[in-house]
Amino acid sequence: MDNLDHILAGIAAEMRGMENRGKVADYIQPLAAVSPHKFGMAVVTAGGSVHLAGDAEEAFSIQSISKVFALTLAIGAVGDQLWRRVGREPSGSAFNSIVQLESEHGIPRNPFINAGAIVVTDVLLGHHQPREAIGQMLRFVRELAGDDTITVDEAVARAEQDTGFRNKALANYMRAFGNIHGDVEQVLGTYFHFCALAMSCRQLALAGRYLMDGGRTTREKGGHRVITDRRARRINALMMSCGHYDNSGDFAYRIGLPGKSGVGGGILAVAPGIASIAVWSPGLNASGNSQLGQLALERLVQHTGWSVFEPRGGAGG
Ligand code: GLU
């Protein structure tokens, strides 16, 4: 698909010239140190072709995008029982809000806000020690991406640990409601390591293939089933409704693809049956989502007609 290379090159060129790049996350030093001028994009198609633009090979902190992989592992471990401990509704509040937990008795709104992902991590620790759970996650993303070089950035994990007072409050609060079963420090230590996974756009787009392809890594021989197609569909539904904090409605409106963002400036987006897409630009908008990442995805769906709301076979517009 030469056309796709052409589209990505055009988007990268447009993004290079953008002045309003948002604000790089500065709650920890390793994120604050990242240049706001970075921009990368990767598209992996259902046919298996890989298309890259800009800094698509540079690893960045995937942060909350890891919540998708943690959810996939937790559903695999306990199935639908997970939904007794975490909801499936958009939160309408910030990713680390504590107020909602009070009225909802310690059951987080969804697995993609911090409180929800901390519960998901606790579920994974019901089956493993922290070291094993972190190893399991690392093996999982390496296998999904077909790339053994993916690592956890220990400096990021440590910085999260040193500054994560609000996450500690969330975890302790849920523990008081009986919705965290394990040791709070261990749950958080594991959660912070998940957030600290470092991946490039190429690796992330490859890792997202199972969501594009009904739960399978690839269609070719050698591709294997990660989850059932029903579960892949449902994770996509959650990404569409809850993947962008308090900006999820606007993301669906502008882009129309399931996606998950992280405060490192990455976004993983899925065009079911068509492509897995990763984009990275560290500057964030007021809701904590990549400013240019969203714009780049908006451009991509305009050019390709990949929005899930596009009548199939129609052109973009
Ligand atoms: N490590 C961040 C936190 O838990 C993740 C935030 C994010 O990417 O949404 O505060």
Domain ranges of the chain: 2-27+36-60+199-218+244-304, 64-195
Distance CA 41, CA 279 (A): 4
pLDDT of residue 216: 87
Distance CA 9, CA 4 (A): 8
Distance 187 CA to ligand 1 centre (A): 15
| Residue in 28, 31, 96, 98 to alter for ligand 1 test, most ligand atoms within 8 A of Cβ | 96
Distance CA 225, CA 29 (A): 38
pLDDT of residue 312: 74
- CB neighbour list of residue 88: distance below 8 Å, 6 or more residues apart: 110, 238, 241, 242
Distance 190 CA to ligand 1 centre (A): 13
The class (CATH top level) of 64-195 is alpha beta
In CATH, which of 3.10.129.10, 3.30.70.150, 3.40.309.10, 3.40.710.10 is domain 2-27+36-60+199-218+244-304?
A: 3.40.710.10
Q: Which atom of ligand 1 lies closest to the CA of 262?
A: 8
**The dihedral of CA 236, 150, 282, 73: what is its sign?**
positive
Instruction: Name residues contacting ligand 1 (CB within 6 A).
Output: 63-64, 95-96, 114, 160, 167, 195, 262-263
Distance CA 283, CA 267 (A): 12
pTM of the model: 0.96
First-to-last C-alpha distance (Å) of the chain: 20
Active site residues: 64, 67, 191, 245, 263
Distance 29 CA to ligand 1 centre (A): 14
Give the dihedral of Cα atoms 219, 223, 228, 233; nearest 10 deg. Answer: -50
- φ, ψ of residue 262 to 5 degrees: the values are -140, 160
pLDDT of residue 222: 65
Ranges of the chain whose pLDDT falls below 50: 316-317
pLDDT of residue 100: 85
Q: Which atom of ligand 1 lies closest to the CA of 263?
A: 8
**Matching residue, tokens 């997202």:** 208
Longest dimension (CA), the chain: 56
Distance 172 CA to ligand 1 centre (A): 17
Got the DSSP string for 155-221?
A: HHHHHHHHH-HHHHHHHHHHHHTT---S-HHHHHHHHHHHHTEEE-HHHHHHHTHHHHTTTBS-SST
Query: Do 64-195 and 2-27+36-60+199-218+244-304 have the same topology in CATH?
Result: yes
| Residue in 31, 63, 247 to alter for ligand 1 test, most ligand atoms within 8 A of Cβ | 63
pLDDT of residue 220: 67
155-207: pLDDT as tens digits: 999 999 999 999 999 999 999 999 999 999 999 999 999 999 999 999 999 99
Distance 36 CA to ligand 1 centre (A): 18
- φ, ψ of residue 58 to 5 degrees: the values are -90, 130
pLDDT of residue 317: 45
% of the chain beyond a pLDDT of 90: 87
| Residue 133, amino acid | A
